[in-house]
Every structure is written in structure tokens, then in C-alpha cells.
Amino acid sequence: MSAPRIHVDQRLSAGEGCTLPVTAANHLRAFRLRPGDPLVLFNGEGGEYPARLEALARREAQVTVLAHDPVERESPLTLTLVQGIARGERMDFTVQKAVELGVSRILPVFTDKGVVKLDSKRQDKRQQHWQRVAVAACEQCGRNRVPEVAAPQPLADAWSGLDTAGQGLVLAPGGRSLQALARQQSHLKAAWLLIGPEGGLSEAEVEKAVGQGAEAVGLGPRILRTETAGITALAALQLLHGDLAG
């Protein structure tokens, strides 16, 4: 069994001891770690830190940081996922798998056909929850950089933040295949991808995306669920332009 990976929001330095907070202690307890067992820490600032558990108490853990390994597992393709907010576990699944597939940033957006309604307090709670999902996905998949999950916002407010995010792509019935697009743009380095929620995107939203310079793309003849569409498109983009191509 490989050493568990734990994200900690604090400074780490090789050769020093440090105290991990209750959330990390609970995580280590779930792995049934005992003093002397190895673990790996990362704080999102680059690389990871092999460490050794020294003591595990109810509300904290004492560890010794052994070294700094500068390894990174980020894709050469910078991907921003603009995701129409879906219900409950579907959105969690999308965030989790998008992080595993190397997405750099996630923008949850309210769309014309979306059914999820959140007041400002619930928006803050959902953002914090989705960010924790992203952290857990990084712990699982080996990433040392945690993608940002932005605050939920109307799609109409998101366009200005996508101006420098690379080639725009919007999933729409009848759109070009990603493979055809790859033949036209074989050296894609950055892209943003707009996926609708359960009800899809409205025609006006697709037209607006195209007006912003996005290409309308399709994923074949079948209708995919929102959570399936997102991970399928991201996987295809990583295969065509990113690190799944080897």
C-alpha cells in the first residue's frame, strides 16, 4: 500500500517537525496509520514532502518532514471547465473527475436551463464543499497543485474572465468533433470548455459562446448526461493535446 497523501494549508520545510490540524489527523486515523508510518504531504505550492508520523492524537498529528520532492503531475494543456451547476452528487462527481483529468480551474455557472438555485450563503457553502472535493481528488490522484473552484456565478458574468483562458469550446448538438478541431489546431496549449447542466444550454447561450470566439463541438450521436459529457470531453482533450497522449 502506498503512503497516504495529505494536503495541508501551511508552510512545509524538509528536516522540520510540524503539527497537522484535526482534519488531517482524522484523515490519518482513517488510514489506520501508527507512529513511524510514512505519509506524503503537499501544500499546493509545488512538489510534495515525504514525511513520517510521530504521534497521532484526537485533534492533531505530529509529523517529521523528511525531504522535498519537486515532482509535478500537471498537464501541459491548461484547461478551464465552465460547468453549468448540476444537482448534488452529479456536481461533486464532475468536480472530482475534472480534477483527476488535469483541469486547471473550475467555474460553476448558473445557466438558463439550470434547476439549482442557491442564495449567497448557500453559494459560499457549496463553493467550499466543491473546493474540498477538489483537494480530496488531488490527494487521490497525485496532483500537487490544487485547482481553484471559483464562486458560483451567472454565465453572463463569466465571459470577461475567459478572455485569456485560451481557445473556447462549447458542447452543442451538431458541433464539430474534437478530432477535426485538433487537425486544425494541433498545438493547443490552453482552452476553456463550457458544459451545460442537466437541461443543457439554451440556443442563446451557445450563440453567445460562439460570439466569444468558442468553437461548437459535439461528442458523437448519443446524448450524454452532464457529468458524462464533461469527463468525456476533458479526457478527449487530454488525449489530443495533453498528457494522455504519452
HSE (CB half, 13 Å, CA atoms) of 171? 31
Above 70 in pLDDT, residue 78?
yes
Above 80 in pLDDT, residue 237?
yes
The per-residue pLDDT for 194 is: 97
Above 90 in pLDDT, residue 231?
yes
pLDDT single digits (tens) 95-107 = 999 999 999 999 9
Which grid coordinates belong to 210?
A: 460562439
Enter the CATH code of domain 5-65. Answer: 2.40.240.20
Mean pLDDT of 67-79: 96
Burial class (CB in 10 A: 0-12, 13-18, 19+), 157: exposed
Do 42 and 144 meet the contact criterion of CB atoms below 8 Å apart? yes
Above 90 in pLDDT, residue 88?
no
Top CATH class of 78-245 equals: alpha beta
Which grid coordinates belong to 207?
A: 450563440
Above 70 in pLDDT, residue 56?
yes
pLDDT single digits (tens) 144-187 = 999 999 999 999 999 988 988 899 999 998 889 999 888 887 78
Chain-wide mean pLDDT for the chain?
93
Q: Report the run of H or E that residue 151 belongs to, with start and end.
A: none
pLDDT single digits (tens) 175-207 = 899 998 888 877 889 999 999 999 899 999 999
Domain boundaries, the chain: 5-65, 78-245
pTM: 0.93
Question: Residue 246: how many CB atoms within 10 A of its CB?
Answer: 4
* Closest C-alpha among 11, 13, 10 to residue 51: 13
Mean pLDDT of 121-142: 96
The per-residue pLDDT for 187 is: 80
